[in-house]
């Protein structure tokens, strides 16, 4: 049976599409069967999966993606349409109705070239799956980096697609990511009306004025965006999908062990290079303006809002102060209560199990605790950069012997 034939070309280039799972299910009983397989194709697939992860760290070139056109648009018969429960197939597929149930694809009678395309699809989907297994067994930051780099990479690839194919591809993708688009493909040329619940994923992560909801035309729940921005939005959805950890049990871990042995040294080296900056002393001259302002207010006995207290506490703890030192700073607050302050500071420091991060700049802004545009996204990163520059400066001023 030529199941999923029309979708196969999509899988080759875009193996992250969820529907690719149907295809895997047909080939293998479960993931372990693939991992255990010693057929040459499967061994090759694992090798390519390794390459994908290595390419994230620029150890090897990015894998090359083969080209295949979309077959359905060329097909005039559309015998599949009677099988569509949503009645979404006319001359074209109406992607705004389609929910990717794949019934049409399961009943597609076109079989020519099927084996070849299927083989190619497998060559792409399996390595991709394998690369996700690898990053899911490593530190969280590896998976995050993987997600960011891969999502960016796919955005570039999508952007380069031929414009008529791109239309179908984007329709398939917004369906796959459950992005709510108002009129699907039937709207204005190259613009998309995206529901705010989907749209908000972008501005909450992309730090730019252009993306902020307040700067958008928002009507009846929908935001209109250009095609390139729509692709950028898809990048966010993809990044989020790829950041998700695949559950790895001991058996899987054992099966992918040989690949982990290859990747781990690279990861370790990367981590060392990034070097976690630790400050043994805190230098207030490097504090961002918002934190300086809160600290000044505290010192002068101004009653500051809860959100500002939380911000400064988490900031100071992250910058290396200990609980006692932070409590001391609060002593001048007009409503100081040692017991309550201690409880709260300890809570933020992680006594209850969760260590809290200092709020990012946009959060500071929302609560009116931001006092200046510093051209950064996070108070701590401003502080860290300043400290880092300082340590360089100190070194360069060291007199020669």
Site for another protein, rule CB under 8 A:
180, 195-197, 200-201, 203-205, 209, 212-222, 306-307, 352-354, 362-363, 365-368, 370
In degrees, rounded to 5, the angle at the alpha carbon of residue 147 between the alpha carbons of residues 163 and 43 is: 90
- Cβ atoms of 68 and 13 within 8 Å: the answer is yes
Nearer to another protein, 352 or 388 (CB): 352
Query: Nearest Cα to 156, choosing from 58, 231, 65?
Result: 231
Least distance CB 335 / another protein (angstroms):
16
What are the structure tokens assigned to 36, written together? 């255990």
Nearer to another protein, 112 or 219 (CB): 219
Q: Is 397 helix (H, G, I), strand (E, B) or coil?
A: coil
Least distance CB 217 / another protein (angstroms):
5
Those residues whose C-beta lies under 8 Å from the C-beta of residue 316, and which sit 6 or more positions away, are 282, 291, 325, 326, 329
Least distance CB 306 / another protein (angstroms):
7
Rounded Cα–Cα distance for residues 331 and 341 (Å) = 9
Query: Nearest Cα to 145, choosing from 56, 229, 65?
Result: 56
Least distance CB 307 / another protein (angstroms):
6
Least distance CB 317 / another protein (angstroms):
19
Residue found under tokens 């993708």: 173
What strands lie across the sheet with 218-219, from one edge to the other? 191-195, 222-226, 218-219
Nearer to another protein, 78 or 144 (CB): 144
Those residues whose C-beta lies under 8 Å from the C-beta of residue 216, and which sit 6 or more positions away, are 199, 223, 224, 225
Element containing residue 218 per DSSP (H, E)? strand 218-219
Nearer to another protein, 221 or 320 (CB): 221
Least distance CB 175 / another protein (angstroms):
16
Nearer to another protein, 59 or 195 (CB): 195
Q: Which residues are bridge partners to 226 per DSSP?
A: 191
197-232 as b/e, with b when 16 or more CB fall inside 10 Å? ebbebbbeeeeeeebeeeebeeeeebbbbebebbbb
Least distance CB 98 / another protein (angstroms):
19
What are the structure tokens assigned to 22, written together? 């149907």
Least distance CB 244 / another protein (angstroms):
14
Nearer to another protein, 81 or 195 (CB): 195
Least distance CB 302 / another protein (angstroms):
17
Nearer to another protein, 131 or 313 (CB): 313
Rounded Cα–Cα distance for residues 283 and 383 (Å) = 9
Nearer to another protein, 97 or 213 (CB): 213
Nearer to another protein, 194 or 286 (CB): 194
Rounded Cα–Cα distance for residues 137 and 133 (Å) = 6
What are the structure tokens assigned to 160, written together? 């380069």
316 DSSP assignment = H
Least distance CB 221 / another protein (angstroms):
3
Nearer to another protein, 254 or 368 (CB): 368
List helix spans (H) across 275-350.
Answer: 289-299, 306-319, 323-330, 338-349
């Amino acid at each position: 049976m030529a199941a999923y034939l029309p979708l196969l070309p999509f899988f080759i280039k875009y193996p992250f599409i969820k529907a690719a799972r149907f295809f895997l299910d047909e080939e293998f009983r479960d993931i372990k069967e693939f991992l255990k397989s010693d057929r040459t194709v499967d061994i090759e697939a694992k090798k390519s999966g390794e390459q994908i992860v290595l390419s994230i760290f620029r150890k090897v070139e990015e894998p090359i993606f083969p080209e295949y056109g979309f077959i359905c648009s060329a097909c005039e018969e559309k015998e599949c349409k009677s099988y569509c429960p949503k009645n979404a197939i006319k001359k074209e597929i109406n992607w705004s109705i389609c929910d990717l149930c794949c019934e049409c694809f399961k009943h597609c009678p076109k079989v020519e070239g099927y084996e070849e395309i299927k083989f190619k699809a497998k060559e792409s989907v399996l390595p991709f799956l394998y690369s996700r297994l690898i990053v899911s067994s490593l530190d969280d930051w590896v998976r995050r980096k993987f997600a960011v780099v891969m999502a960016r990479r796919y955005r570039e690839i999508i952007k380069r697609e031929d414009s008529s194919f791109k239309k179908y591809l984007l329709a398939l993708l917004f369906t796959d990511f459950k992005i709510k688009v108002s009129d699907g493909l039937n709207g204005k040329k190259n613009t998309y009306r995206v529901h705010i619940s989907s749209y908000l994923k972008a501005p909450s992560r992309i730090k730019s004025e252009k993306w902020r909801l307040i700067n958008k035309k928002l009507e009846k729940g929908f935001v209109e965006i250009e095609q390139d921005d729509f692709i950028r939005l898809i990048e966010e959805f993809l990044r989020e999908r790829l950041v998700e950890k695949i559950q790895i049990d001991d058996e899987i871990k054992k099966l992918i062990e040989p690949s982990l042995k290859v990747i781990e040294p690279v990861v370790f080296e990367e981590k060392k290079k990034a070097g976690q900056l630790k400050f043994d002393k805190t230098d207030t001259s490097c504090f961002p303006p918002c934190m300086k302002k809160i600290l000044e207010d505290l010192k002068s006995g101004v009653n500051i809002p809860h959100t500002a207290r939380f911000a400064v506490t988490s900031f100071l703890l992250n910058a290396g102060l200990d609980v006692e030192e932070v409590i001391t700073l609060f002593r001048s607050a007009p409503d100081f209560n040692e017991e309550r302050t201690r409880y709260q500071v300890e809570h933020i420091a992680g006594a209850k199990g969760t260590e809290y991060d200092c709020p990012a700049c946009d959060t500071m802004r929302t609560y009116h605790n931001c006092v200046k545009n510093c051209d950064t996204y996070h108070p701590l990163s401003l502080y860290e950069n300043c400290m880092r520059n300082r340590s360089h400066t100190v070194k360069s001023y060291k007199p020669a012997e």
